[in-house]
Amino acid sequence: MTNDLWLFIGIGCGLGSIAAALVYYRWVSRQEPGNEKAVQIASWIKDGASTYLRMLYRALIAVAIFLVIVLAVIFSGDPKRPLHGVYTAMAFGFGALCSALAGWLGMSIAVKANVRTATACGRSLGQGFNVAFKAGAVMGLAMVGVAVFGMSLLYLIFHDAEIVLGFSFGASSLALLAKAGGGIFTKTADIAADLTGKVELGIPEDDPRNPAVIADNVGDNVGDVAGMGADIFDSYVAATVASMLLGTSFAATIGIQYVVLPLILCILGIISALIGLQFVKVGPEGKPGKALNFGTVISCVIFAGLATALFAIVNLSAGETLLNWGALIATVSGLVIGVIIGFTTDYFTNDEHRPVRHVAEISASGTGLTIITGFSYGLISMAPAIFGIVLATLASYFSAQAFGLPGIYGVGIAAVGMLSLTGIVVSNDAYGPIVDNAKGIAEMSGMSHEVVDTADVLDSAGNTAKAITKGFSISAAALTVLAMYAAYSEVIVKYSGDSFIMSLQDPIVLAGIFLGCIVPPLFSALTMLAVTRNAFTMIEEIRRQFKAKPGILAGTELPDYAKCVGIASSGALRALVLPAFLAIILPLIVGFCLGPTALGGFLGGAIFTGVVFALLMSNAGGLWDNAKKYIEAGNCGGPGSEAHKAAVVGDTVGDPFKDTAGPSLNTLITVMSLVSSLFAPLIAQYHLF
């Protein structure tokens, strides 16, 4: 088959995936929404989420228009390609639009599905699960569909991977702001609701008397649905584009088919997800967590089978090796190691294993030990993931090289293989906040405790899925940026006409490394400080409302939920300015001032500390959260005990770790790599050193 035919198949497959998402969307929308009170609460959550998204997208449109103009102007200076700037700018805008569309679709179904899941939980566990999972699948399928459609269409039109890089940059810029903004929003609301509700006043979670409770539920959607979705979307597109760029660089020696191979693998990933989704079912007494994991594993097996079949059919029908077997080994190694890394994350964050239980037990001796022990396990938890990344890198590099492909192309393809599971992984991930919301709505609307208990069972599975997704997305981002890094080097060589060598004996390179190392910690600090600053403002507002409206706690007056949503929204957006500056402007300053090798060092430093910080913060935060939940289940003294108080502090520290700073670092390093690759042609020619 010709490359163009694959691109048409990609467009068709992307549209098919979007159509499947719309079928699920329609099915979920037609489910029974439930009683009047539940619908009312769901509408507050929906309004809050819409308010935030409107504010976010308004700001993003302004940023996108600015960047579109900048890109169009800067990249139009090449007389050989006078329209390159316009095309890149258009691709950027299209990428941002697609990312926003996927996020909006996911959010819009999540805020419909939450109340329908709660109502379905009243019928059975299986029905509740079905509604939540199919709603999650809307997000998963829409995301991969939009991504593959967009990339295939752009490559079909322009036949230039550098233009598709603009698409990736657009998607990632939006993802960075959506993820960091969502993370700041969700933890602002969560911490404020907990500190005033649970700690100060003894109000249980998801109690409608707490003015921050709606903001907390909105945060689950904007942080964990739209934010996490945008994060994986950007890694998915970036990995594919990086491999396409590498394929373009080596096309003269290995063949043009390797430029579109990443897209072909994405197509197979969509087919695998569509089949795998059909296997995810829960019976009346079934286990939701096992069903989610089964879906992931079965999709993985189907993908490996389809990829092998594709390579065999193409090579046998051509009578020669058109698709190198080394690429298949690299793909499968990325896929398998991605799954393994996801599950090792579960070991450190699941209360069935030693680390969480140890932290819970030691919490009886005070907060200090809770923090030290949890932090230490967070540090240890990096090891398996890092080993996995190393293994995937080496296995894919050397397997590709052994079969005659450039090793670095194998690394890129391994990242694509790992992210081929995106459809099913995002489905699992979006399921989490939906059932979390469903539980909250069931509580707030006064549904029977049996319904709440059923939603709680679904919620526990969602928490585990969330932890696995984080491990997966960080590892995938690490491989992606390694491939992007290689792509950056290739572009520099191409445009400078010189070799690209980075030596640790070169002070310029060292300066770049040190500057890069500090970016992820700075970014983490800025986003977490934004959380504490906003949470403080919201706590003051909650206290004010309790004082001004004495009937709130007696249940005779309604709190002003919208006020807290407003504080979280505006605070999150204001806080994005500096982190966005770090991600987009800093690589350009380093590149244009210190040169390509310094920027290479800068990216290397940022990638290494970014991955380390992301793993540490995500895992330590998840561990503290589950240690608290383990105690709340009646262990180690139970709720109200000294162990619980210490665990609550641990969880409060861990909240912005795991939901704000940690996962946002994936996007940060991806955006920095993309900015560098996109501007590499200019940096190669214009720099001070």
Backbone phi and psi for residue 503, each to the nearest 5 degrees, phi listed first: -115, 140
Q: Pick the stretch among 64-72, 280-288, 455-463, 630-638 that binds other proteins (CB under 8 A).
A: 630-638
- Answer for the pair 415, 243: CB distance below 8 angstroms, yes or no: yes
Instruction: Determine the 3-state secondary structure of 404 from DSSP.
Output: coil
Residue 553: CB minimum distance to other proteins, A: 5
Residue reference for tokens 């390159």: 84
Burial of residue 219, with CB atoms counted within 10 A of its CB: 0-12 exposed, 13-18 middle, 19 or more buried = buried
Nearer to other proteins, 530 or 647 (CB): 647
Q: Pick the stretch among 221-229, 274-282, 324-332, 631-639 that binds other proteins (CB under 8 A).
A: 631-639
The candidate with the shortest Cα–Cα distance to 512, out of 600, 612, 607, 611, is: 600
Of 39, 641, 682, 685, which lies in the binding site for other proteins, with binding defined by CB under 8 A? 641
Binding to other proteins, residues 338-397 (CB under 8 A): 364
Binding to other proteins, residues 418-447 (CB under 8 A): 443
Residue 387: CB minimum distance to other proteins, A: 36
Binding to other proteins, residues 173-202 (CB under 8 A): 198, 200-202
Instruction: Determine the 3-state secondary structure of 576 from DSSP.
Output: coil
Nearer to other proteins, 204 or 404 (CB): 204
Residue 104: CB minimum distance to other proteins, A: 35
Return the structure tokens found at 606: 């940022």
Q: Pick the stretch among 72-80, 330-338, 573-581, 628-636 that binds other proteins (CB under 8 A).
A: 628-636
Binding to other proteins, residues 546-575 (CB under 8 A): 546-547, 550, 553-554
Nearer to other proteins, 134 or 209 (CB): 209
- Answer for the pair 236, 422: CB distance below 8 angstroms, yes or no: yes
**Interatomic CA distance for residues 482 and 34, integer angstroms:** 48
Q: Is 629 in the site for other proteins (CB under 8 A)?
A: no
String of contacts with other proteins for each residue 642-661, x by CB under 8 A: xx------------------
Of 354, 640, 686, 689, which lies in the binding site for other proteins, with binding defined by CB under 8 A? 640
Q: Is 588 in the site for other proteins (CB under 8 A)?
A: no
Give the chain's length. 689
Judged by CB under 8 A, the number of residues near other proteins is 27
Nearer to other proteins, 73 or 199 (CB): 199
Of 174, 203, 230, 341, which lies in the binding site for other proteins, with binding defined by CB under 8 A? 203
The total of other beta-carbon atoms located within 10 Å of residue 83's CB is 13
User: Which amino acid type is present at position 290?
Assistant: K
Half-sphere exposure of 301 (CA within 13 A, CB side): 10
**Interatomic CA distance for residues 157 and 30, integer angstroms:** 38
Nearer to other proteins, 198 or 533 (CB): 198
Residue 552: CB minimum distance to other proteins, A: 8
Instruction: Determine the 3-state secondary structure of 80 from DSSP.
Output: coil
**Interatomic CA distance for residues 121 and 271, integer angstroms:** 30
Burial of residue 320, with CB atoms counted within 10 A of its CB: 0-12 exposed, 13-18 middle, 19 or more buried = exposed
Residue 649: CB minimum distance to other proteins, A: 15
Return the structure tokens found at 632: 């709340």
**H-only helix segments in 122-280:** 125-158, 161-192, 213-219, 228-254, 257-277
Residue 621: CB minimum distance to other proteins, A: 22
The candidate with the shortest Cα–Cα distance to 664, out of 573, 557, 579, 537, is: 579
Binding to other proteins, residues 444-483 (CB under 8 A): 448-449
Residue 539: CB minimum distance to other proteins, A: 13
Q: Is 497 in the site for other proteins (CB under 8 A)?
A: no
- Answer for the pair 213, 207: CB distance below 8 angstroms, yes or no: yes
Q: Pick the stretch among 247-255, 581-589, 621-629, 634-642 that binds other proteins (CB under 8 A).
A: 634-642
Nearer to other proteins, 252 or 554 (CB): 554
Q: Pick the stretch among 85-93, 391-399, 588-596, 640-648 that binds other proteins (CB under 8 A).
A: 640-648
DSSP string, 440-476: HHHHHTT--HHHHHHHHHHHHHHHHHHHHHHHHHHHH
Residue 198: CB minimum distance to other proteins, A: 6
Q: Pick the stretch among 11-19, 181-189, 326-334, 639-647 that binds other proteins (CB under 8 A).
A: 639-647
**Interatomic CA distance for residues 582 and 47, integer angstroms:** 32
Of 204, 283, 368, 404, which lies in the binding site for other proteins, with binding defined by CB under 8 A? 204
- The footprint of other proteins (CB under 8 A) covers 198, 200-204, 207, 209, 364, 443, 448-449, 546-547, 550, 553-554, 634-643
